[in-house]
């Protein structure tokens, strides 16, 4: 069981303190240690209390019974009792409201602003989506005061910056709304963008001398919200500036333009880079890559924030001609491989243009071994009547790591592809395997997905000519 939230501990301490204060107030404080009449509390000090004629001079009650006299006098403390009762009732009311939340999903709508803000400060960041949604609705309605809105924004930014802590998408929703409605200062917007990506760099650890290095930049679920419109609130743009290995250094020009990875709270994305790093000799090297990183709202606006980071890894340069990828020619794997592969929804499509562009998606679901293919569209043999070999069109390369479900798209400009259906031929490719960061053993079996229909999109009709004005 985890440690109780600080708010719950505070409630418990307040209730115990209130009970102690209430008990002390009821018991009262000592104001006299003399004998007193139990009925009217008259001070009997100095009076003869023995004998049958002993009576209280104030109320006349006989004092012959020992129970008629009390030694000492206490005075109740009403103000202290009221404070103790308040300290008991408030925690009881709050706990009762929390218990009722199990049966009333929208109980947060009945909580005061200060309570929701206390929960936002003290509860685990990943366990309060209901409270955060209610606070966001109050910000949107303008019912949360400006100081409390500023407090909420500062808390959201602090939670986002704590990369070791949990993250609820609702925190990002609050920041997205604040950014869209100019509730963030320029410094706060930069801070939000700076801490939004969670990214990593992987290098292919064994490369042949004289060949390009393969670098995979990937992003995991970002510390952002569900941006309005469904798109990512930010775009992450990494640019490799320099590679260092010992005394060897290689600089690269900055990249720009339309290259980037969307930052979303629930998805991941990746991009492969190929870079030539000449002059590094055969052997193992510790490599440092230096990156310029930018986050922007879209490709047409300047970066919100830019910074540099370094990543270190180890790479081994192998002599040219080394067989660094193993082809596994195991026919017993064919059935499982064929079962794992299929053409994605939409099939093969051809975009109409002067040079038609053909594209397709290939899905792969848990193959028994890593796969790397050249993708070739081949004319079906049944339609070739002159004895010539079927025509082929190479449209790209794909690779699958062998774990999980993956989907890759390929496409290329083609010439003279006038057929209604093709066989999709997947030919094992060592070059495609070398284009990954971790594939060193692949299936050597050629796979054919037969008789796949080709869909040609109909060109959009030209816009109507403008009407001539009537003279």
pLDDT 10s digits, 185-213: 999 999 999 999 999 999 999 999 988 89
Region for residue 151 given its phi and psi (left: phi exceeds 0; alpha: psi -120 to 50; beta: otherwise): alpha
Tokens for 470? 């009537």
Instruction: Indicate whether 427 pLDDT > 90.
Output: yes
Domain boundary (318, 341, 360) is at 318
Based on the domain organization, do 159 and 233 belong to the same domain? no
Does 466 map to a domain?
no
Based on the domain organization, do 360 and 441 belong to the same domain? yes
Does 465 map to a domain?
no
Could you list the residue range(s) of the whole structural domain that residue 31 is in? Answer: 6-100
SS3 197: coil
Based on the domain organization, do 93 and 161 belong to the same domain? no
The number of CA neighbours under 13 Å toward the Cβ of 269 is 16
Domain boundary (264, 288, 318) is at 318
429-455, pLDDT tens digit by residue? 999 999 999 999 999 999 999 999 999
217-258, pLDDT tens digit by residue? 999 999 999 876 555 679 999 999 999 988 888 998 877 666
Does 254 map to a domain?
yes
Structural domains counted in the chain: 4
Does 205 map to a domain?
yes
Beta strands 199-203 and 421-428, pairing class: unpaired
Based on the domain organization, do 71 and 112 belong to the same domain? no
Does 471 map to a domain?
no
Q: Please state the φ and ψ torsions of residue 351, each to the nearest 5 degrees.
A: -85, 130
The CATH number of residue 392's host domain is: 2.60.40
Does 388 map to a domain?
yes
pTM of the model: 0.69
80-127, pLDDT tens digit by residue? 888 888 888 888 877 776 666 555 556 778 788 888 888 888 777 666
Based on the domain organization, do 292 and 354 belong to the same domain? no
The CATH number of residue 235's host domain is: 2.60.40.10
460-470, pLDDT tens digit by residue? 666 676 666 66
Based on the domain organization, do 170 and 208 belong to the same domain? no
Tokens for 2? 């985890």
Question: How many whole angstroms from its chain centre is CA 422?
Answer: 42
Domain boundary (37, 65, 100) is at 100
């Amino acid at each position: 069981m985890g440690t109780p939230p600080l708010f719950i501990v505070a409630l418990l301490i307040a209730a115990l303190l209130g009970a102690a204060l209430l008990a002390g107030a009821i018991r009262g404080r000592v104001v006299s240690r003399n004998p007193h009449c139990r009925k009217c509390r008259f001070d009997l000090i100095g009076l003869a209390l023995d004998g049958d004629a002993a009576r209280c001079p104030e109320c006349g009650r006989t004092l012959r019974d020992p129970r008629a006299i009390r030694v000492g006098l206490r005075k109740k403390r009403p103000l202290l009792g009221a404070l103790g009762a308040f300290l008991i009732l408030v925690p009881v009311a709050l706990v009762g409201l929390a218990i009722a939340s199990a049966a009333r999903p929208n109980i947060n709508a009945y909580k005061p602003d200060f309570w929701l803000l206390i929960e936002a400060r003290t509860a685990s960041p990943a366990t309060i989506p209901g409270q955060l949604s209610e606070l966001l609705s109050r910000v949107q309605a303008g019912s949360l005061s400006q100081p409390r809105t500023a407090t909420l924004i500062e808390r959201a930014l602090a939670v986002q910056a704590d990369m070791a802590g949990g993250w609820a998408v609702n925190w990002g929703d609050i920041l997205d709304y604040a950014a869209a409605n100019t509730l963030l200062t320029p410094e706060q917007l930069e801070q939000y963008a700076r801490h939004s990506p969670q990214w990593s760099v992987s290098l292919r650890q064994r490369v042949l001398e004289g060949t390009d290095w393969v670098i995979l930049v990937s992003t995991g679920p970002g510390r952002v919200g569900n941006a309005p419109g469904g798109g990512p609130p930010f775009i992450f743009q990494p640019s490799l500036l320099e590679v260092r290995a010992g005394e060897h250094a290689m600089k690269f020009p900055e990249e720009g333009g339309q290259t980037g990875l969307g930052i979303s709270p629930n998805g991941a994305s990746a991009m492969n880079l190929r870079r030539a790093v000449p002059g590094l000799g055969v052997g193992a090297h510790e490599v440092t890559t230096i990156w310029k990183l930018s986050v922007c709202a879209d490709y047409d606006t300047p970066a919100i924030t830019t910074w540099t980071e370094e990543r270190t890894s180890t790479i081994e340069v192998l002599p040219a001609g080394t067989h660094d990828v193993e082809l596994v020619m195991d026919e017993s794997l064919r059935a499982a491989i064929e079962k794992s592969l299929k053409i994605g929804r939409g099939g093969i499509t051809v975009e109409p243009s002067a040079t038609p562009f053909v594209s397709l998606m290939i899905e792969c679901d848990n193959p028994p071994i890593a796969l790397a293919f050249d993708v070739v569209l081949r004319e079906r043999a049944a339609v070739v009547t002159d004895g010539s070999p079927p025509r082929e069109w190479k449209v790209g390369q794909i690779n699958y790591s062998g774990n999980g479900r993956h989907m890759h798209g390929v496409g290329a400009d083609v010439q003279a592809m006038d057929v209604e259906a093709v066989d999709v031929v997947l030919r094992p490719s060592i070059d495609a395997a070398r284009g990954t960061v971790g594939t060193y053993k692949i299936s050597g079996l050629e796979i054919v997905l037969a008789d796949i229909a080709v869909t040609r999109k109909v060109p959009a009709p030209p816009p109507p000519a403008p009407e001539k004005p009537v003279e």
